[in-house]
Amino acid sequence: MIEMIDVWKSYSNNVKAINGINIKIKKGEFVYVVGPSGAGKSTFIKMMYREEKPTKGDILIDEVNLSNMKEKEIPLLRRRIGVVFQDYKLLPTLSVYENVAFALEVIEEDPTVIKRKVMDVLEIVRLKNKARFLPSELSGGEQQRVAIARAIVNKPEVLIADEPTGNLDPDTAWEIMNILDDINHNGTTIVMATHNKDIVNTIKKRVLAIEGGRVVRDEVRGSYGYEA
């Protein structure tokens, strides 16, 4: 369902971040993206939701080619792909409920449908009881759970996570992983960049290791392979 064919990415400062990547990710897979700092993991991930455009090559999500996608088509793509970041990126003046509902309001969903969908998804991340809270009134793990709820409320086919446990203590990181694992078991494809050695070595999944903008390892039930 996700395919990269001979993908290259140079930034305007001439940094060559991705240097010829060919990969296929099947529907329902869970893939860890690992590698040293500066290896190109974030760039690889950003190209999957068209935050960055490849300099060369094709990126296909099902039949849609992101490389020649028009700007006006991007919002439709973002409905099919949920994204979670290390720093949550919640809107600070909106409540938990409003942060999640926002993703549906922008697509003009019916208000009663919005309410049902938001409460359903807050149930999945176990935050129904904090729906009226502001992000600043939540712990880091709770904020990340809101961000996950927002990312999955549109029922995307793919969930992309860039270091989702990077700011969290080990126990909270495990809690987030268990939620991501549940979401994956319900059929959502997950691609997650991470530096968390314990998680990668314990919850075994496919591992793509990137170094110098190339895939240097692709293992079905891989290990982290670097010192933490």
Ligand X SMILES: Nc1ncnc2c1ncn2[C@@H]1O[C@H](COP(=O)(O)OP(=O)(O)OP(=O)(O)O)[C@@H](O)[C@H]1O
Question: Which is closer to ligand X, CB of 44 or CB of 174?
Answer: 44
Distance of closest approach, residue 36 Cβ to ligand X, in angstroms? 7
**What's phi and psi for 193, nearest 5 deg?**
-80, 135
Stretch that binds ligand X, among 41-49, 60-68, 96-104, 130-138 (CB under 6 A): 41-49
Which residues in the chain belong to E strands, given as ranges? 2-10, 16-25, 30-34, 56-61, 64-65, 81-85, 158-162, 189-193, 206-211, 214-219
What string marks each residue from 179 to 208 as x (binds ligand X by CB under 6 A) or -? ------------------------------
Of the candidate residues 43, 144, 189, 196, the single one contacting ligand X (CB under 6 A): 43
Distance of closest approach, residue 8 Cβ to ligand X, in angstroms? 12
Question: Which is closer to ligand X, CB of 15 or CB of 64?
Answer: 15
Stretch that binds ligand X, among 8-16, 19-27, 67-75, 145-153 (CB under 6 A): 8-16
Contact criterion met (CB below 8 Å) for 154 and 105 = no
38 binds ligand X (CB under 6 A): yes
Rounded CA separation 62/106 (Å): 24
Of the candidate residues 6, 11, 87, 132, the single one contacting ligand X (CB under 6 A): 11
40 binds ligand X (CB under 6 A): yes
The tokens for 180 are 């991501």
| DSSP secondary structure code for residue 130 in this structure | G
The tokens for 216 are 């240097």
Of the candidate residues 4, 32, 42, 149, the single one contacting ligand X (CB under 6 A): 42
Partnered with residue 108 across adjacent β-strands are none
Contact criterion met (CB below 8 Å) for 1 and 61 = yes
Contact criterion met (CB below 8 Å) for 99 and 146 = yes
165 binds ligand X (CB under 6 A): no
Residues that bind ligand X (CB under 6 A): 11, 13, 15, 17, 35, 37-43
